[in-house]
Structure 1
Amino acid sequence: TDPVLASRARLKSTAITALRRYTPTPYSGRVCIFLPNKAWMRSGAAPRQWLRVTPQAEFYFGPEDCNDSRMLEEPDAPAIAELYRQATRRAGRLM
């Protein structure tokens, strides 16, 4: 097997395990949540649940056809990078 793909699979598995074990606590600071696309607001991932602990969370959405498992790869990576730039510019204006 390809060592890069094996490493990605291990990282993904570790991240999923950590996420399942994580219990968030209230946080009043700024939180930006980057989702593959707007449809994810209605997904089993239930991102709106974060609003319980961080009511000021900002949601950023990738392209409509963005795939969650590849959102940081081509062809979606440039769109996600632009969302990140927008979020950081907004942070600069908030300071």
Structure 2
Amino acid sequence: MFSLDSFRLDGRRALVTGGATGIGAAIARGLAAAGADVAVTFHTRPPDDVIAAIGGLGRTAEAIETDLWKMDDVHAARLIAEAGAAIG
């Protein structure tokens, strides 16, 4: 019998770039379903549906506006710091 218990992410935090739509949104939801609190980046439209779905799983979620064409926005340290401040 196969168990997903070894893949639990309880107490962990995740940052998903491009988490507003498509595969990124599915990954963000999957991480939350596994127990992680999740920050997702978006550019044009806040991912209210993704944030609501993650919240519905009992997890903390936050959207971070990011323009991937601007180097200051995609600087890893800035994104990690902002995500950490948003979701703990």
Same fold, TM-score > 0.5, yes or no: no
- TM-score bucket (shorter structure): 0.3 to 0.5
TM-score scaled by length of structure 1: 0.41
Q: Which protein is richer in strand relative to its size?
A: 2
Choose between structure 1 and 2: higher helix proportion: 1
Larger Rg: 1
